[in-house]
């Protein structure tokens, strides 16, 4: 098993210096325009609703929120959204932005079960994050997501899948510590206690967005080439 990557890896070089650690964007590093946070938030809202019958927002948590851009957009849409990330740099930048983000993101690796309340969230979503968790820790990490969801709560994940932790030649990101086939992830999610949400998965395949961030209506799953996982906590 490889040496664990710690929070120190996810510094300014990781996010903002092209092709040093992560390979983010040759021109300007990790940026909002490329990652379309408003469209991502709208996609999640189309898939899960986010607003209760009484008009109040649901409680959503982003596991691996980076700079908190999707969290901010969800708050603007009426969801009580929060997020966490392992990166001290990313959370520092988030809090400097002020507004909704600064009070809605926290720095943690997701391995402290007591960091969030048991059975609190209606939805936990995670975008291209699980592969960054070391394989020794991933079961506990997923178990905490299960613990923090309320009964009937939903889990939405996109995961960079792989083959027995072998990175491709174009993947320079050493923090991709758990690259396993889809069936490996599905077996682990079942072991933790989740069950598949086939209805949401099928719906995600056909959600189309007309948005200023795109030149034409798109299916965001296809646009980002996401491997989508939709699961739920029944009880």
Please provide the DSSP assignment of 72-120 as one string.
Answer: HHHHHTT-EEEEEES-HHHHHHHHHT-HHHHTTEEE--S--GGGS-TT-
Judge whether 9 and 144 are in contact, CB under 8 Å: no
Residue 173's pLDDT is what? 83
Digit-by-digit pLDDT tens for the chain (235 residues) are: 467 899 999 998 888 877 677 766 544 556 566 667 888 999 999 999 999 999 999 999 999 999 999 999 999 999 999 999 999 999 999 988 877 888 899 999 999 999 999 999 999 999 999 999 999 999 999 999 999 999 999 999 999 999 888 777 677 788 999 999 999 999 999 999 999 999 999 999 888 877 676 667 788 888 888 999 999 999 8
Rounded Cα gap, residues 68 and 190, in angstroms: 29
Residue 123's pLDDT is what? 98
Helix orientation angle between 37-48 and 69-76, rounded to the nearest 10 degrees? 60
Output the pTM of the full model: 0.92
Residue 27's pLDDT is what? 47
Residue 99's pLDDT is what? 79
Please name the residues in contact with 97: beta carbons below 8 A apart, sequence gap of 6 or more.
Answer: 67, 68, 72
Classified as helix, coil or strand, 215 is: coil
Residue 32's pLDDT is what? 61
Residue 28's pLDDT is what? 53
Report domain extents, the chain: 39-162+170-232
Residue 2's pLDDT is what? 66
- Which architecture does CATH list for 39-162+170-232? 3-Layer(aba) Sandwich (3.40)
Joined together, the tokens standing for residue 201 give 């998965």
Rounded Cα gap, residues 232 and 235, in angstroms: 9
Residue 111 phi, psi (nearest 5): -100, -5
Residue 34's pLDDT is what? 62
Angstrom CA distances, 66 to 126, 150, 228, 233, stand at 11, 24, 19, 25
């Amino acid at each position: 098993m490889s040496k664990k990557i710690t929070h120190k890896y996810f510094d300014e070089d990781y996010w903002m210096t092209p092709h040093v650690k992560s390979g983010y964007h040759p021109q300007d590093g990790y940026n909002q325009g490329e990652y379309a946070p408003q469209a991502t938030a709208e996609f999640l809202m189309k898939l899960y609703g986010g607003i209760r019958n009484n008009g109040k927002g649901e409680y959503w948590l982003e596991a691996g929120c980076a700079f908190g851009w999707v969290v901010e957009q969800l708050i603007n849409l009426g969801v009580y959204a929060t997020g966490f990330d392992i990166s001290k740099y990313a959370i520092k930048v988030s809090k400097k932005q002020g507004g909704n983000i600064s009070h809605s993101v926290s720095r943690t690796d997701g391995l402290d079960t007591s960091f969030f309340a048991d059975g609190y969230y209606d939805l936990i979503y995670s975008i291209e994050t699980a592969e960054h968790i070391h394989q020794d820790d991933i079961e506990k990490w997923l178990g905490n997501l299960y613990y923090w969801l309320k009964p009937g709560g939903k889990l939405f994940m996109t995961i960079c899948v792989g083959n027995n932790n072998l990175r491709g030649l174009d993947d320079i990101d050493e923090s991709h510590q758990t690259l396993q086939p889809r069936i490996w992830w599905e077996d682990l999610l079942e072991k933790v206690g989740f069950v598949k949400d086939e209805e949401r998965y099928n719906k995600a395949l056909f959600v189309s967005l007309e948005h200023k961030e795109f030149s034409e209506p798109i299916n965001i799953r296809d646009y980002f080439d996401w491997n989508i996982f939709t699961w739920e906590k029944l009880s």
